[in-house]
Structure 1
Amino acid sequence: MVPFVIDNLRLRELASVVQANKPYFDEFVGVLRQQGYRDIFDFVSEPDETKARAVLTLLLTRQFAAPLFDGILRPYDSPTANWYFLAWLFRDAPAQRLGPMVAEQQGGSPLEKRVSLLNHIRQFVRPLFPERESWAWAALSEVMLARLEGSRRALKGTLFEALVRRLLKEVVSDAGLSLEIGDGEVRIHDETYDVQVMGREGNLLIPVKTRETMGGGHALLFTRDIDKSIRVAVENGYRCLPVVIAESWGGDLGSLASKEFVYIQANPNQVAVLEPRLREELRKFVPLLRSLA
């Protein structure tokens, strides 16, 4: 049995990203001081709505020298960085919750609408966190870590999809097979398949599933999700090859609707370790790939 990775690798990676975002925070505070505020608490407490809107406009449009990074340490572009940071500052979700609201706000331009929305959120949140310490780096870094965890999970999934696609292209090329590997996802009804392999004799759909946590009801849901992916693909005339990367998965491999699957028992945070193992596992399915060519 593969030993579990006891250390929380995800937390370590996220903490590193948060620390890398500290220079952006420091520069942000520096801009506020240039506007006459001692710190973020003073700005959030600004009673003059006109002045607050002017400062929000400045913060949204400024080109900061320090970058703001996403969950896998990629820098956001400047407008996105400023919008995301201000939303996080006000304990909100810029894309999932605030994004759809922007169009309905007062203002003649997208910038004015964002300023209007952020100012409303500022006024709402301020009484909820009356202590100055709630607006200091120690508190805000915890908020940032929580927000980045969600983005990191989605981005890590995309990273594995790209890895499977790249390794499949290597395997197909090495085997001299006349197959095409699609560049994007395929959706069938409400199921999404991360990689598609297309040949004269048929198509293969590959859902990529990763799981970090252990036990509980989520393991059962994870297994059901894999089974559903297989069933929907087969019912619509496709072959299906799930790629499952999970350190601890309580599912019964023999119960899956397909006998063709890749299962690597490993922590999905260990990308460098996983790549050679995944390559070898995919090579085992050259006969399946050849049947599609």
Structure 2
Amino acid sequence: MTASPTTPAGAAAGRPPGILISALRRRGQERFSGTLRLDGNPGGTVTMRDGLIVAAATPAAPGPESLLLRSGRIAETEWSRAFAAAAPEGRLPDELVERGLLGEVGVEVLARTAVVDALFAMALTGVHTCTVESTDAGGPGPLVPVEPGLETDRLLREITRRLEVADGWRVLDLTVRSRPWVVRDEPDQIVDGARREVLGRVNGRRTPRDIAFTLGRGLFPVMSDLAILLQDGFISLTEASAPPPAPPHTRSRPGPGPCSSTLPNSRGATETATPPPPDASRTPAPTARPRSRCSGGRRAAPRVSPRRRPKTH
């Protein structure tokens, strides 16, 4: 079945989380057990048990695996061994504890962090439809579920609070699709170490989601740090303007006169420069020009010398 697009009271104004929040609230009241498949951009899934939320996943935010591996808390080889040994039976959290990779509290924090951040990401990007699948549909369960689960009303209050914080980002034009640029590469001026790491991943191509996956951090804390860096002037949402390049050195081009040259002026345009008139004192005396051989457009006849006759005696 599909939920109707209604926006319940308490949702952040101007945001499109109505279907998600209303669906979670309704299924929580019904003590639903199963999976909610949420169609959005990009959407995701929510797993519930007796009305409690035990897991949530979306391509918009890192899941437990990315949070552990990208942050460096667990090596990839150790994760692969634990996954192969316990994931098919649904025992991955216990296996992580038995191998000493995480403590019981660490597993719980990891699972809660992934759920809250995934729901926030889906609410932020918007949900169009919600399809319900009961537990009878079968399929593998979540890798690291929250035990015994999170209360729906309490979780929705936290999601609403985060959406209200995100409303402040809209004033800065910061969205999940922004690609910020570094304008002040001064990490030593940033006290918070996690924020310095965020600044180090900003390159004008990565979105907040990309940075979250790269660092193994939640989408919400990464966007919070980006908002602070933006307000402090370390990053910009538009490409930093580069200084204009120096004009290339080119040869003078001949202008209208034989002594003119084309030069760039201070505004980048070109103008014709004419050298000053020559000094009269240095002007050479005029020389006699040869007499023209053309007269009246006719060619002058050649002069013939008279032949001298020989003298007779």
Write 1 or 2 for the structure with the bigger share of helix.
1
Q: Highest relative contact order (Cα 8 Å, sep 6+), 1 or 2? A: 2
Q: TM-score, normalised by structure 2?
A: 0.25
Higher gyration radius (CA) = 2
